[in-house]
Structure formats: C-alpha cells, structure tokens
Amino acid sequence: KAGVTQTPRYLIKTRGQQVTLSCSPISGHRSVSWYQQTPGQGLQFLFEYFSETQRNKGNFPGRFSGRQFSNSRSEMNVSTLELGDSALYLCASSLGSPNTEAFFGQGTRLTVV
Amino acid sequence: AQSVTQLGSHVSVSEGALVLLRCNYSSSVPPYLFWYVQYPNQGLQLLLKYTSAATLVKGINGFEAEFKKSETSFHLTKPSAHMSDAAEYFCAVSSMDSSYKLIFGSGTRLLVRP
C-alpha cells in the first residue's frame, strides 16, 4: 500500500512569508502528527490530528497551525516565517493509539532566507 | 511524563562488529517504546517496537532490542554491523495521554568503518 506522502519536498521562502505543507497519510489511518527536526533541537512534536480534531499541540508559537480534512489529509501552515523555522518537517501517519507505530513521510525541507 | 535518553551522540564500529545503541526511558506507566532509523534526507523508518508482549523484540535488518524494566532500558543491538547500517537512530516512547505523540531521544549517529 502507498506510504505517507509529503509535498513539496523542498521549499525556500523569505522571512515574513507564510508556507503551507501537505501530508497524505496511509489509507485507513486517521491520525496525522507533525514534527519539526533541526540539528539543535532534534525531533520536536508540533501537533496531532485525529478525525479532523486536534488532540494535542506541542510547545510552538501560534504561527504554527494545522488542520485535517475529512479524507485524513493534513496541512500545516507557518505564518510570518523566521530564519529559525528552517527545518525538516516530518509528517507521521498512524492508527492513533499509543501502542501502534507511526509511519513517516520523507519530509519537507524548509529553508527560510 | 515520559522521556527518553540516548547515550552517545555518535557511535563508531567496524564492519562485522557488534552494534549497541543505548536508550533509557522514564515513564510512570508501562511504556510503549520504538526504535526508528533515518538515512540522510529521508524520513524515519520503524526498526522495531515494544508494546508489553515479549521483552526481546526482533526488528528488521537483523536488529533487536531488549526491554529491561529494572534498568529502564531498551538498548538496540545487531550482532554484525554492515556498511549499510550507517545512519541516525532514534529511540522513542509513546505519550500516554489521549492523543498520539512520540517523544524522541536526541539520536545516535552510527558510523561503520570498513
């Protein structure tokens, strides 16, 4: 079956702009979570959606937001980009219970200049 | 609250040698634990998971991990390293709140010398 698809793979944006990243989960998975990966901070949880509802949110400013559609596809948005937002953004798809594994997309590499 | 500590940001082994990557967890309840591998410019791939069944868990590519409650450890091992094992490895624990959230360790980069 198809894996997790993230688009685009690479993005270059200018400070102050906004960006939208997309994630299509594995068919049948209703949970989509997002992580930010940087060399300094490692893998940090952004938020998780399950059946269109945000169930959890990490410690990120309000500039980071997300949503999930009825087909489980998810988007995350970052407004007013800062240089420090440059990172690999990873989307993970799962069945949504703690004893199940997450399947990750290849990520979107965002560079803010 | 759950947390994970990975000892050693870099581990270097010779091809054919034993691989041992360390992970210690902190959890107030029986944890669900995972090991993931990440190759350059890629996402994370699941190696194995512990979900309170057998304490010795076998994963893909010859890796295995043993859950030791008394030591709060979940170390990853492979008897014989291969050049293709060079990657970054992450240990993670699943948050036990009413959502799906993985809490990751800081990662260990495995270098395999020919």
Give tens-digit pLDDT for A56-100: 999 999 999 999 999 999 999 999 999 999 999 999 999 988 888
- Say which amino acid occupies A76: M
Which H helix or E strand runs over A89? Answer: strand A87-94
* Cα(A112)–Cα(B103) distance, integer angstroms: 26
Position A10 pLDDT exceeds 80: yes
Chain A residues within 8 A of B36 when measuring between CB atoms: 104
Cross-chain Cβ contact A42/B36 below 8 Å: no
CA distance A112 to chain B (A): 18
**Ramachandran region, residue A99 (left: φ > 0; alpha: ψ -120 to 50; beta: rest):** alpha
Q: Round the CA-based radius of gyration of chain A to a whole number and report it.
A: 13
Residue-wise pLDDT tens digits, B2-60? 899 999 999 999 999 999 999 999 987 888 999 999 998 889 999 999 987 789 999 99
pLDDT at A99: 86
**Ramachandran region, residue B52 (left: φ > 0; alpha: ψ -120 to 50; beta: rest):** left
pLDDT at B105: 97
Residue-wise pLDDT tens digits, B52-109? 778 999 999 999 999 999 999 999 999 999 999 999 999 999 987 778 899 999 999 9
Cross-chain Cβ contact A107/B43 below 8 Å: yes
Distances, alpha carbon A68 to alpha carbons A21, A73, B11, in Å: 12, 6, 39
Q: Decide: A4 and A108 in contact? Cβ < 8 Å.
A: no
Give residue A12's pLDDT band: very low, low, confident or very high (50, 70, 90): very high
What spatial distance separates the first Cα and last Cα of chain A, rounded to whole Å? 37
Q: Cα–Cα–Cα angle for A93, A3, A106, nearest 5°?
A: 80
* Cα(B82)–Cα(B87) distance, integer angstroms: 11
- Indicate if the alpha-carbon torsion angle A38, A20, A9, A107 is positive or negative: positive
pLDDT at A1: 64
Q: Is A6 helix (H, G, I), strand (E, B) or coil?
A: strand
The rounded mean pLDDT for chain A is 96
- DSSP β-bridge partners for residue A5: A24
Q: Decide: B5 and B104 in contact? Cβ < 8 Å.
A: no
Chain B residues within 8 A of A50 when measuring between CB atoms: 99-100
- DSSP β-bridge partners for residue A49: A32, A54
pLDDT at B75: 98
Give residue A2's pLDDT band: very low, low, confident or very high (50, 70, 90): confident
Q: Cβ contacts of residue A100 below 8 Å, gap of 6+?
A: A94, B100
Residue-wise pLDDT tens digits, A42-51? 999 999 999 9
Residue B28 contacts A, CB cutoff 8 Å: no
Burial of A16 (0-12, 13-18, 19+ CB in 10 A): exposed
Residue in chain B lying closest to A32 (CA): B100
- Take residue B22 and report the two structure tokens written for it: 């360390």
The dihedrals phi and psi of B61, each to the nearest 5 degrees, come to: 60, 25
